Amino acid sequence: MMETQPQSIVLGGGCFWCLDAAYRLIRGVTSVTSGFAGGETPYPTYEAVVMGSTGHAEVVKVEFNFQEIVLETILDIFWTLHDPTTLNRQGHDMGSQYRSIILYNSEFQLKTVRHSIERAKKVWGDGIVTEVKALTDFYPADDYHQNFFANNPEKSYCQIIINPKLKYLREKFTSLLK
């Protein structure tokens, strides 16, 4: 059965600022929240997550209107915005806090994620190391991490790392942009 009520899924693919900036551009995405999930430490701080001592990854909670955009498309975007074959690393960001991870919240989502991984293997091969697990807790990051790219476009990380990803997103997913 297809779910029709508003949905959310939690995704990690490197620094959360990149995914945050990208999903905010997509039509049908109603909210994006940068945060932490997938670890054991309750109420982690950014500093503790960056040190790699919490087990959490930097993630985004993507809320979307299933009437406008389907989970499969949300996941297609995810696979194009990071390298799911590098364990605990995206570019210069290294550590388990930058791992590729999908945290689902229903059996329907798990089934969709598994199918999406099979489709992604056609591009990435069998080397996908993306962790897939049920979401237990999501902890929003501090306010200054939310919509970081729009609030700090002049920062070097935004110019060097995020801008090229957004350029690629705009080229590949033109019809999905707000």
Query: Annotated catalytic sites, by residue?
Result: 15
Structure tokens at 9: 């899924």
CA distance from start to end of the chain = 28
Structure tokens at 43: 């109420």
Report the relative pairing of strands 57-64 and 7-13 from DSSP bridges: antiparallel
Radius of gyration, alpha carbons of the chain:
15
* 20, 32 contact by CB (below 8 A): yes
* 101, 12 contact by CB (below 8 A): yes
* 108, 9 contact by CB (below 8 A): no
Task: Determine the Cα–Cα distance for residues 129 and 109; give it in Å rounded to an integer.
Answer: 18
